Copies of this chain bind each other. A is one copy, B any other.
Amino acid sequence: MKLRDEYTCPLELIHDMIKGKWKPIILWRLRLGATSLSKLENDIDGITQKMLLEHLKELIDYGFVDKKTFSGYPLHVEYFLTEDMGNQILEALRIMQHIGIEYLRKNGMENELTEKHVIPD
């Protein structure tokens, strides 16, 4: 998931930073608070540890996510959204979530909606 050398506008840059099969859902899950790699792996259906690590690494590089390593036993690492970029991008994702829910409603797919889709205030 390399960034381009040149972008026509900043919007494209950010879009590239959060694109990929798993990035949006990782960020979305992270809105609920800091958590460990293994918890993320459990919460995000279908993802493998490897994909998770790859995408987390990029999100960290770009500044949306940060991690804290607790030394001791057992080894523990926590991933969380950054104050600035992390929380800002959440706003954009919230809008997308909203559009998505409306879209499913209009197309008679409300049944696809479960509790885990609901936007918390």
Contact = CB atoms under 8 A, between A and B. Distances in A.
Interface of A: 7-15, 18-19, 24-25, 28, 44-46, 63, 84-85, 88-89, 91-93, 95-104, 112-113, 116-117
Contacts of A85: 99, 103
- Give chain A's interface secondary structure class: helix
B9 A28 contact: yes
B14 A100 contact: yes
B28 A103 contact: no
Contact of A14 (B9, B46, B97): B97
A21 B18 CA distance: 13
A11 B90 CA distance: 11
